[in-house]
């Protein structure tokens, strides 16, 4: 799958709210998931949201792996989340370093909920509800922000 161009900070699409995916099994959506995955891997990211590849759709990929800033981050299979909704957020928050493929060269400490439950459709169009904590929960909150036109730098005081 080809690597797609990544929208950079300042592109209008990154400040918009993305649209719900109406047909998760449509070949275009299945191809977009593959291309987003290839783009994220080529850019050495741990997540990516459809608006970042110029598609204003509620679709994210989450793919935590150990890295210098989070050496104990879980190594997980990339998971595609279609129309994700965070249905519970812990009150407890924690600070952690974030970066963004759309804001190269910037890193910042961002406060995020420690734990969350997310409801989404998987790549097979099945409903899933799953609980996450730590770095993976951080990535999910970061990617959900992209679907709502928010960049991590908007959250830095």
Ligand X SMILES: O=C(CSC(=O)[C@H](Cc1ccccc1)CC(F)(F)F)c1ccccc1
Contacting ligand X within 2-61 (CB under 6 A): 45-48, 52
User: Is residue 100 near Zn ion by the rule CB under 5 A?
Assistant: yes
- Interface with ligand X (CB under 6 A), residue from 98, 113, 132, 136: 98
129 given a catalytic annotation: no
Handedness of CA 93, 99, 150, 4 (dihedral sign): negative
Rounded distance between C-alpha atoms, residue 116 and residue 32, angstroms: 26
User: Is residue 32 near Zn ion by the rule CB under 5 A?
Assistant: no
Residue 87, both tokens: 């249905």
Given 85, 97, 126, 143, the catalytic residue: 143
Rounded distance between C-alpha atoms, residue 97 and residue 73, angstroms: 13
53, 81, 87, 107 from 48: Cα distances, Å: 9, 11, 20, 16
Nearer to ligand X, 25 or 111 (CB): 111
* DSSP-derived secondary structure letter, 12: G
User: Is residue 36 near Zn ion by the rule CB under 5 A?
Assistant: no
Nearer to ligand X, 100 or 121 (CB): 100
Give the shortest CB-156-to-ligand X separation in angstroms. 13
| Partner interacting with residue 145 (select from Zn ion, ligand X, none; CB below 5-8 Å by kind) | none
User: Which residues are part of the catalytic machinery?
Assistant: 143
């Amino acid at each position: 799958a080809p690597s797609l161009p990544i929208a950079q900070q300042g592109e209008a699409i990154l400040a918009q709210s993305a649209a719900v995916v109406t047909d998760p099994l449509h070949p275009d959506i299945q191809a977009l998931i593959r291309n987003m995955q290839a783009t994220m891997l080529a850019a050495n990211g741990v997540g990516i949201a459809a608006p970042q590849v110029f598609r204003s759709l509620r679709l994210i990929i989450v793919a935590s792996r150990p890295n210098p800033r989070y050496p104990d981050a879980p190594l997980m299979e990339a998971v595609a989340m279609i129309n994700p909704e965070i249905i519970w957020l812990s009150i407890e928050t924690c600070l952690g370093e974030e970066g963004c493929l759309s804001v190269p060269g910037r890193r910042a400490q961002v406060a995020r909920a420690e734990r969350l439950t997310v409801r989404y459709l998987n790549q097979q169009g099945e409903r899933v509800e799953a609980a996450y904590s730590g770095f993976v929960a951080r990535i999910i909150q970061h990617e959900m922000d992209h679907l709502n036109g928010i960049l991590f730098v908007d959250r830095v005081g």
